[in-house]
Amino acid sequence: MKVILLINCPDQAGIISSVTQFLHSRNGNIVYLDQHVDKSSNVFFMRLESEFDTENFNTSTFKKIFDDVLAQPYQMHWSLHLDGLKPKMALFVSKYKHCIYDILGRHNAGELAVDIPFILSNHPDLRFIADQFNIPFYHLPFSKENSAEAEDRQLALLSEHKIDFIVLARYMQIVSSRLIAIYPNKIINIHHSFLPAFAGAKPYHAAFKRGVKIIGATSHYVTSELDEGPIIEQDVTTVSHLHSIPDFIGKGMDLEKIVLSRAIKLHILRKTMVYNNKTIIFS
Amino acid sequence: MKVILLINCPDQAGIISSVTQFLHSRNGNIVYLDQHVDKSSNVFFMRLESEFDTENFNTSTFKKIFDDVLAQPYQMHWSLHLDGLKPKMALFVSKYKHCIYDILGRHNAGELAVDIPFILSNHPDLRFIADQFNIPFYHLPFSKENSAEAEDRQLALLSEHKIDFIVLARYMQIVSSRLIAIYPNKIINIHHSFLPAFAGAKPYHAAFKRGVKIIGATSHYVTSELDEGPIIEQDVTTVSHLHSIPDFIGKGMDLEKIVLSRAIKLHILRKTMVYNNKTIIFS
Amino acid sequence: MKVILLINCPDQAGIISSVTQFLHSRNGNIVYLDQHVDKSSNVFFMRLESEFDTENFNTSTFKKIFDDVLAQPYQMHWSLHLDGLKPKMALFVSKYKHCIYDILGRHNAGELAVDIPFILSNHPDLRFIADQFNIPFYHLPFSKENSAEAEDRQLALLSEHKIDFIVLARYMQIVSSRLIAIYPNKIINIHHSFLPAFAGAKPYHAAFKRGVKIIGATSHYVTSELDEGPIIEQDVTTVSHLHSIPDFIGKGMDLEKIVLSRAIKLHILRKTMVYNNKTIIFS
Amino acid sequence: MKVILLINCPDQAGIISSVTQFLHSRNGNIVYLDQHVDKSSNVFFMRLESEFDTENFNTSTFKKIFDDVLAQPYQMHWSLHLDGLKPKMALFVSKYKHCIYDILGRHNAGELAVDIPFILSNHPDLRFIADQFNIPFYHLPFSKENSAEAEDRQLALLSEHKIDFIVLARYMQIVSSRLIAIYPNKIINIHHSFLPAFAGAKPYHAAFKRGVKIIGATSHYVTSELDEGPIIEQDVTTVSHLHSIPDFIGKGMDLEKIVLSRAIKLHILRKTMVYNNKTIIFS
């Protein structure tokens, strides 16, 4: 079986040696190691993949000993993931079809190793797509009057289905601070601009007005500051005076799809780690 | 001989037909035509290249008749350029070596069809490069006390050498409104970020802090609003958590060079037209 | 109504003027013109969009007069298309899911202005996707024994549904020369390499073996020479020693989808013209 | 002082642990580690940077012990490099000015941490550039008659100046097998195409003829098979029907410069390792 370890701690001599020694001594075969030191904050980051003989590996025992022997002395923040366990992903959408089709098409094509227990939307429009792919669809409208209640319902659904992370696939509704607090660095948004340029509403209109020659899309973890969360992935494409605002939107949709799906894959593969509102993206 | 026409005017039926008819009737052979209509402002733009028999072509006569027959009736803004005439370009630099070396290397390699009568700097550091390439170098420092005087000297130099356009190759000094007024859409700057992200000073530091995954460079015509002029060219490159601020700066220098040289070439070839603080870049 | 004209002919003086004059005199308002001269073969290419008052425009009359007045004298190859008429597109697939999902998702999202009367496959595997999107699916296996018969059936289906063009969305069967002859420059293929590198089978394996740092995908019109048809669109992505063959395939699938959909859009918008086994892609 | 270790060996359990343990026990502080396992050949690759207290570090002692304790038991191919020692680079050129100007400009701007003891050319044309940058220039023409003699002279120059590696900056002369044998994986070439497409002569002409939409450049180590050596770096740019062969060449020159300079930097930083005619490029 393959075990993924994600670690960060204050940088200090001997960490790599200690961790690899620990794994080796417990018959783990390290098949991948990527590490990074952030010099400005003096923090060490590491991602390891180790293979263990399934019969002799007990997850809770391993965690206990790792914590005692390494995590405590080195003041590590760390997590352990068993490769092959599919996380549960909730998909939040509104009215745009491109991202939901892209994600569900990829899921059905076997590209995304997740379960999608349900799709949630503040609008009823995309129910037919959920139906096409046989996934439960919850229409949960938000208004000033019902917002607390809607939030409760939202959180209940997430908890009931044991959701691991949430994807906002052009979900046009600001998510609540309660939700963000419960799913820190576990809500992935796609913003339709090359952040920090054109944060906020109508970025394609703003980009058109400014006359930029390149537009972009940005996937980031959601934090309480709108469009300010840690960036996971960005990509861009060229535009010119020949392109109208609808052209910007059309070209942008292709970017949004590809950037969001890359971010989802990185998250699923446990290749992301957040520190100081920035991401480490392991190789 | 080849004549380049740049035209813009209110959009209306029959312009292309009238202009091409006019050229054809005067024995001009149209070898290139690119046109564009900005639907939002209802403005028509066109760039033509026509070949004429040199013996029968008189520039001032042509201009006079073109103005009477076409420009006046269609309310055109237009200009005529004789292909093959090398414009005179002034190069303003400060302390960075990468852009000046790139431009002078390209110039000597025959890539840039301009004359460079002089290099001007507010610092003495790069004189040795001007010397390497045998180009006069003027050290013209600016201070609070001497700014009016320095400006006069600057303008005198430009005028004396009949400069057509100015390139700010990482020139670290805000150019005066007088200079901008005299050279409208004729001062090309390179900004070391993907504008409008990270306008102002220290963009690489700001990009690093924000944790972006892509950095860029932007070449634009200088207007009185700092970093807000019409964008000519942009390009980007990927960065990651592995890159420090010096890495951003190093990768960015390559972008700055390439983006600035592309903008200079577009300007020399008369492929740019400015309208509403945006550029039309003809094919 | 909007009329699109595609023209090529031997280059000669006065063409643009004659054509624009012709349209103007018949009350057509030219809203777009892009032209190009291939200097090496001395051929002129043009694409125009003109708006006409629907009441006064008769397509067959227009065609007749255009032919007499312009096409004959200038020896033009030309075609006229009414904007807004949806072409009929047949989709040929085999076993790969990524392209079919991408195309059908885009179609349902309103991105592709075509009708898709049916999906044809030499394998039964993807019937469920056709069912999801409510599109008739024909399973038409090819073997050495039945190939003539299968070909007949294929051509009959295409003819019966008045198919305008065919998209091979990773269709793993060589198309017959009869089919190619009937649909010249109307069969769009996606090849999973940056042609002409790695033509033929297993390009990702070949790319991996060669140790390239960039892989690509190529969409082209199908001709009788395998993987040698005129290229419509290409794109690339970076790879490194970190990527295995399955990684190449995974990254490549994203390229294939995007490159194929761009080629389909260009074809639908009548922005492509083929000459000398190369494409002109109008702006 | 900083020490760089480059290692490859048959993959086996415990290598990372043993090497990091070894360095830690000798008071080395590991500031960087990147490793990779090539699954298809079962080979392990690693690059480490370790800081040592200069007073207590003796290079030859360290090498001896490392060899005994680790290299022998693990059957390693390895090398040790002291960070900060500038390698000596010979520059071979012919007639093209863009690469030589780019490299010398970068060198003078402080971007390339190398010494350039001389420039060698089979043509006299670029002597003036060497003069501009005050670098000795040797004109060493090759002909059928003098080739053995010229080769001897070439090798003598390289040996005399203790050259570490050679850069062929559009050097239009096939290098001899003797030279390749003496400098294995130490001769860097730039080929003006996206290899393996358009190997051999006149790649831009071939790309133009094929009608590709993207052109590229490739930097690789020179082996006895022409244009078949391990690829270090590639990059591409878009072209269209608008571009003539001279345009391809012009756009390509920008690629060649950037791709070659990136390859040189990777080589200088000891970030490349060659195996099975492919490169590992460490992060």
pLDDT tens digit sequence for B24-53: 999 999 999 999 999 889 999 999 999 999
Choosing from B125, B227, B247, B254, which is the catalytic residue?
A: B227
Residues of D within 8 A of A33 (CB-CB) are 16, 33, 35
pLDDT band with cut points at 50, 70 and 90 for residue A144? confident
Tell me the pairing of strands C29-38 and A214-221: unpaired
Confidence check: pLDDT of A40 > 90: no
pLDDT in tens, B263-283: 999 999 999 999 999 999 999
Confidence check: pLDDT of B59 > 90: yes
Handedness of CA C29, C34, C39, C42 (dihedral sign): negative
**Residue A102, SS3 per DSSP:** helix
Confidence check: pLDDT of D110 > 90: yes
Whether residues B35 and C33 touch (CB distance < 8 A) is answered with: yes
* Segment B13-16 long-range contacts (CB within 8 Å, at least 24 positions apart): B13/C24, B13/C29, B13/C30, B14/C24, B15/B44, B15/B46, B15/B74, B16/B46, B16/C16, B16/C20, B16/C30, B16/C33
Whether residues B30 and C23 touch (CB distance < 8 A) is answered with: no
On whether the A2-82 domain is CATH 3.30.70.260, my answer is yes
Chain B contact for A229, CB < 8 A?
Answer: no
Picking from A77, A66, A85, the residue whose alpha carbon sits closest to that of residue A23 is A66
Residues of B within 8 A of C31 (CB-CB) are 37
Backbone angles phi, psi at A182, to 5 degrees: -80, -30
The token pair that represents A114 in the structure block: 């997740």
Give pLDDT, residue D84: 85
What is the three-state SS of chain C?
Answer: CEEEEEEEEECCCCHHHHHHHHHHHCCCEEEEEEEEEECCCCEEEEEEEEECCHHHCCHHHHHHHHHHHHHHHHCCEEEEEECCCCCEEEEEECCCCHHHHHHHHHHHCCCCCCECCCEEECCCCCHHHHHHCCCCEEECCCCCCCHHHHHHHHHHHHHHCCCCEEEECCCCCCCCHHHHHHCCCCEEEEECCCCCCCCCCCHHHHHHHHCCCEEEEEEEECCCCCCCCCEEEEEEEECCCCCCHHHHHHHHHHHHHHHHHHHHHHHHCCCEEEECCEEEECC
Tell me the pairing of strands C137-139 and C119-121: parallel
Picking from A118, C272, A236, the residue whose alpha carbon sits closest to that of residue D241 is C272
Quote the percentage of chain D above a pLDDT of 70.
100
> Which of C11, C33, C35 to mutate against chain B (most B CBs within 10 Å)?
C33
Give pLDDT, residue B56: 84
The token pair that represents D75 in the structure block: 């059957």
Considering only CB atoms, A13 lies closest to which of D13, D16, D24, namely D24
- This complex has an ipTM of 0.95
Give pLDDT, residue C235: 98
Give pLDDT, residue D56: 83
Kindly report the number of other CB atoms within 10 A of residue D149's CB atom.
12
Q: For residues A103 and A169, give the distance between their C-alpha atoms in angstroms, rounded to a whole number.
A: 9
pLDDT in tens, C210-258: 999 999 999 999 999 999 999 999 999 999 999 999 999 999 999 999 9
A–B CB contacts, 8 A cutoff, strictly below: 77
Whether residues D98 and B108 touch (CB distance < 8 A) is answered with: no
Confidence check: pLDDT of D3 > 90: yes
Tell me the average pLDDT of chain D.
96
**From A37, which residue of chain B is nearest by alpha-carbon distance?**
B242
Amino acid at A36: H
As annotated, the residues of chain A forming the CATH 3.40.50.170 domain(s) are 89-281
Amino acid at D7: I
Choosing from D227, D235, D247, D254, which is the catalytic residue?
A: D227
pLDDT in tens, A189-207: 999 999 999 999 999 999 9
Residues of B within 8 A of C30 (CB-CB) are 13, 16-17
Whether residues C213 and D198 touch (CB distance < 8 A) is answered with: no
The token pair that represents C25 in the structure block: 């005199």
The token pair that represents A282 in the structure block: 């392991």
Annotate B205-257 with DSSP letters as a single string. HHHHHHT-SEEEEEEEE--SSTT-SPEEEEEEEE--TT--HHHHHHHHHHHHH
pLDDT in tens, B91-140: 999 999 999 999 999 999 999 999 999 999 999 999 999 999 999 999 99
Tell me the pairing of strands D89-93 and D187-191: unpaired
Q: For residues A214 and A236, give the distance between their C-alpha atoms in angstroms, rounded to a whole number.
A: 6
Considering only CB atoms, A254 lies closest to which of C129, C242, C258, namely C258
Give pLDDT, residue C19: 96
Picking from A81, A67, A19, the residue whose alpha carbon sits closest to that of residue A44 is A19
Give pLDDT, residue B144: 87
State in words which class domain D89-281 has.
Answer: alpha beta
Residue in this structure with the two tokens 């297993």, named with its chain if needed:
C202
Q: How far is CA B78 from the centre of its chain?
A: 17
Give pLDDT, residue D144: 87
The token pair that represents B57 in the structure block: 């072509």
The token pair that represents C209 in the structure block: 């073996």
Q: For residues D218 and D263, give the distance between their C-alpha atoms in angstroms, rounded to a whole number.
A: 9
D242 touches C45 (CB < 8 A): no
The token pair that represents A34 in the structure block: 């990527």
Confidence check: pLDDT of D158 > 90: yes
pLDDT in tens, D37-63: 998 899 999 999 999 998 889 999 999
Picking from A186, A205, A184, A207, the residue whose alpha carbon sits closest to that of residue A195 is A207
What is the three-state SS of A165-224?
Answer: EEEECCCCCCCCHHHHHHCCCCEEEEECCCCCCCCCCCHHHHHHHHCCCEEEEEEEECCC
pLDDT in tens, C5-50: 999 999 998 999 999 999 999 999 999 999 999 988 999 999 999 9
> Which of D6, D212, D233, D259 to mutate against chain C (most C CBs within 10 Å)?
D212
CA neighbours within 13 Å on the CB side: how many for A154? 26
Picking from A211, A214, A203, A206, the residue whose alpha carbon sits closest to that of residue A238 is A214
Chain A contact for C2, CB < 8 A?
Answer: no
From chain A residues 29-88, the ones with a CB under 8 A of any chain C CB are: none
Q: How many residues does chain B have?
A: 283
Whether residues D253 and B98 touch (CB distance < 8 A) is answered with: no
Q: For residues C23 and C51, give the distance between their C-alpha atoms in angstroms, rounded to a whole number.
A: 10
pLDDT mean over D270-282: 97
As annotated, the residues of chain C forming the CATH 3.30.70.260 domain(s) are 2-82
Sheet bearing C119-121, strands edge to edge: C137-139, C119-121, C89-93, C165-168, C187-191, C214-221, C231-238
DSSP class of residue B175?
Answer: P
Considering only CB atoms, A109 lies closest to which of C97, C132, C133, namely C97
Strand intervals (E) in chain A: 2-10, 29-38, 43-51, 77-82, 89-93, 119-121, 137-139, 165-168, 187-191, 214-221, 231-238, 272-275, 278-281
C185: left (phi over 0), alpha (psi -120 to 50) or beta: left
Give pLDDT, residue D87: 97
Whether residues A280 and B233 touch (CB distance < 8 A) is answered with: no
Helix (H) or strand (E) holding B146: none
pLDDT in tens, D237-270: 999 999 999 999 999 999 999 999 999 999 999 9
* Segment A108-113 long-range contacts (CB within 8 Å, at least 24 positions apart): A108/A133, A108/C97, A108/C101, A108/C129, A109/C97, A109/C98, A109/C101, A110/C97, A111/A261, A111/A265, A111/C98, A111/C250, A111/C253, A112/A261, A112/A264, A112/A265, A112/A268, A113/A86, A113/A268
pLDDT band with cut points at 50, 70 and 90 for residue C56? confident
Give pLDDT, residue B84: 85
Chain A contact for C105, CB < 8 A?
Answer: yes
Give pLDDT, residue D47: 98
> Which of B34, B241, B247 to mutate against chain A (most A CBs within 10 Å)?
B241
Whether residues A105 and C97 touch (CB distance < 8 A) is answered with: yes
Give pLDDT, residue C40: 87
Chain B contact for C214, CB < 8 A?
Answer: no
Considering only CB atoms, C242 lies closest to which of D36, D198, D213, namely D36
Claim: this prediction has a pTM higher than 0.90: yes
Give pLDDT, residue C144: 87
